[in-house]
Structure 1
């Protein structure tokens, strides 16, 4: 079986390794971000809100620090806005009955707006225009939505006729478009809300359970799967109506070992992967 090794992308500076990583992501421009707290959250035991620190590592290696005031989410999603601000969101709403679930911070770390997008956030990614794409998991099967940073819905999958959209397993946001591979039917879905002719395109797909997807021209790669396929990297070609599998192998860490617990973020032709202790991001690029 063919093996593909990830390539190192970004590392959290050692000066910040004494703090707890609440979450981490790679934004649409390739900058890696870590949301840090003084200690790990304790269910029902921590006083909210709390202050946090975002450490951003740009592709050239420059490091930027942003202190966020009064964060309310113990187990958050994070992404950066094009203006330098940040979005922090709690995946569940039932813990936030008296407060909005999504917080938007400016470049100085001050909260500028807050709103709720619905329970059970599986994926949250910001595009180049500053729109917030949210995909939900199956405890709240509302599908995929695109929001403004002030809480206005710009697009929803409600009438998009995406088959079997109950859980947004994989979401890839690049430029101002999104790609998804949702449970239960796992079609490959392209979403371009600004396109007047077929803003949503759907291709049948036989590759099940992928947790991340990368797209480059007519080529596509799916990462992850069920059980023994959790480290699978499956390649395919996009035809008129379906994705035809072309190759399957394993995606490993740069040293050749298999990832354990991991995060994965899809951005265009790239899939970024982060494993415990969540202090480094590695990357696979389909275009290379």
Structure 2
């Protein structure tokens, strides 16, 4: 079985290693971001809100630090807006309809708005227009939604005829489009809300349990799976109706398989992977 090794991509500067990594992501433009706090969250014992810090490493290597005031998310999701601001969201809504679940901060770290998107956030990714895409896991099976940065619902998968959409296992946002691979049927789904004639396209797919997907032209790659397929990298080619398998291999970190906890972010042709202690990102690029 062919093994593909991830390429090192971005590292949290060592000067910030004394802080706790709450979460981390890679944005649409390739910048890596770490949301840091002075200490790890204590279940049931935290005093909220708290001040936090975002350390950003841009593709050219430039480092930027943004101080955020009064963050209210104990288990947050993070992404950057095109205007330089940030979105921070609590993955679990404390009262299921928490008006401060999602906080929007400007480029100076000041909160400008807040809203709710519903409990059980699996993925939160911002597109080129500043829309916030949210994929939910099965404790709140509302599917996939797109919101604007002021909290207005801009698109929903309700009525979109996506087979077996119960848990958004994989979500890829690039440009103004999104790709998803949801449980239970695991179809590959392309979502283009700005294409009124056909906003959703669905391909049947035999790869089960992938938690990341990359797309380049008519080629697709699925990463992850159940049990021993945790580090699987399955390649396919898009036909008119299905993602036809073309090969299966393994995807490994530069220093070996990702055996512990990890984060994944899908952006276009790229899958970014981060393993504990969550200070470094590596990348697989389907286009290369």
- Alignment gaps of 5+ in structure 1: none
Greater shift, 141-150 or 248-257, is seen at 248-257
**Distance in 2 between residues matched to 1:145 and 1:237, nearest whole Å:** 27
**Distance in 1 between residues matched to 2:44 and 2:276, nearest whole Å:** 24
Give the alignment's TM-score, normalised by structure 1. Answer: 0.98
- Alignment gaps of 5+ in structure 2: none
Contact 1:253 1:259 in 2 (8 A): no
Which residue does 1:255 correspond to in 2? 255
**Distance in 2 between residues matched to 1:60 and 1:256, nearest whole Å:** 26
Which residue does 1:4 correspond to in 2? 4
Which residue does 2:115 correspond to in 1? 115
Contact 1:252 1:259 in 2 (8 A): no
Give the 3-state SS of the residue equivalent to 2:196 in structure 1: coil
The yes-or-no answer on 1:14 pairing with 2:14 is yes
Give the 3-state SS of the residue equivalent to 2:166 in structure 1: strand
Q: How many corresponding residue pairs?
A: 288
**Distance in 2 between residues matched to 1:166 and 1:138, nearest whole Å:** 6
The yes-or-no answer on 1:241 pairing with 2:241 is yes
Deviation of 1:159 (Å): 1.2
Which residue does 1:184 correspond to in 2? 184
Q: How is 1:92-103 mapped onto 2 (pairs within 5 angstroms)?
A: 92-94=92-94, 99-103=99-103
Contact 1:55 1:64 in 2 (8 A): yes
Which residue does 1:270 correspond to in 2? 270
Please identify runs of 4+ aligned residues in structure 1 that moved more than 4 A: 95-99
Contact 2:97 2:116 in 1 (8 A): no
Which residue does 2:283 correspond to in 1? 283
Deviation of 1:260 (Å): 2.4
Deviation of 1:116 (Å): 0.1
Calculate the aligned-residue CA RMSD, in Å. Answer: 1.0
Q: How is 1:22-61 mapped onto 2 (pairs within 5 angstroms)?
A: 22-61=22-61
Contact 1:7 1:282 in 2 (8 A): yes
Deviation of 1:269 (Å): 0.1
Give the alignment's TM-score, normalised by structure 2. Answer: 0.98
